[in-house]
Amino acid sequence: MDAGACLTAAARKAGLSGQALVYLVKTGGDDTGSVIAGLDEVSRDDAVLLASRSLREDFDACVDKTVLPSGNNRLTARSYTAPTVVPKPTAGKPNPNPKPAYPVRADQPVSSPIELTKGLISMFSSYARDAGQKKTYAAAGQCLSTLVYNAGFTQKALHFLAGGAPLGTGSIVEHLPNGKDKTIWQSPRFIHGLIDCTTNATPTALPDP
């Protein structure tokens, strides 16, 4: 059983709706933050349940039992990072595109949330199922950039996020530069922040493209 299967099993045990379980299976991502943010568009109640501490504990226990190596060098569930899965190219679902959508100078620090807004909108929108979800991410851009800027990510991670690579598949967390950044992205506090940003966004106020 892999981490994705553990997440689905924990979600099933927690009582997520059939619609939410179908979404988890179809999404197939190991980036819990992105999965929860996307699920929030399908069902807010299920998204909150997926981000709950009890579900996370069940998930960690499953990973601890079936995925993590045994022995003295055994990782703890808290430090576990889901394995990177390189998806096979299929029609309509290409490999992730890590090329930045916006130029970012590596020699200059990201010094304000506004520098992250366009990149984060681009990156999250690449996962959108439809135009309505793209509008939600656009409306949530300022909230997302403030959340990310204040979360404690390294400058290398902030440069990557500011670049707005249109990944489109896989997960954002697997492209973050180190364990610290990945831990922040997968933390309950950050995940709840993602949910709040997308929940409080008002996409209907945006003009049609």
From residue 38, give the alpha-carbon distance in Å to each of 13, 46, 90, 111, 132: 20, 11, 21, 28, 12
Closest CA to 24 of 77, 12, 158, 102: 12
Q: Tell me what pLDDT residue 74 has.
A: 35
Compute the half-sphere exposure of residue 170: CA atoms within 13 Å on the CB side of its CA.
22
Q: Tell me what pLDDT residue 67 has.
A: 52
DSSP symbols for 82-141:
PPP--PPPBTTBPPP--S-SS---TTS---STHHHHHHHHHHHHTT-SSHHHHHHHHHTH
pTM, two decimal places: 0.60
From residue 77, give the alpha-carbon distance in Å to each of 57, 80, 118, 164: 9, 5, 34, 30
Q: Tell me what pLDDT residue 148 has.
A: 96
Q: Tell me what pLDDT residue 22 has.
A: 75
Counting DSSP H helices and E strands in the chain, the numbers are 11, 0
Handedness of CA 139, 144, 145, 146 (dihedral sign): positive
Q: 151 with 190: CB under 8 angstroms?
A: yes
Copy the structure tokens of residue 63.
């990973």
From residue 175, give the alpha-carbon distance in Å to each of 20, 41, 52, 57, 155: 26, 24, 25, 25, 14
Instruction: Please give the chain's pLDDT, 209 residues, in tens.
Output: 456 677 777 777 877 777 777 777 776 655 666 677 777 766 767 777 777 777 777 777 777 776 555 443 333 333 333 333 333 444 445 678 889 999 998 899 999 999 999 999 999 988 887 888 888 889 999 999 999 999 999 999 999 999 999 988 778 888 999 999 999 988 888 888 888 888 777 765 444 44
Q: Tell me what pLDDT residue 57 has.
A: 77
Between CA 184 and CA 177 the distance in angstroms is: 12
Q: Tell me what pLDDT residue 196 has.
A: 83
57 contact partners, CB below 8 Å, separation of at least 6:
none
103 contact partners, CB below 8 Å, separation of at least 6:
163
Between CA 170 and CA 186 the distance in angstroms is: 15
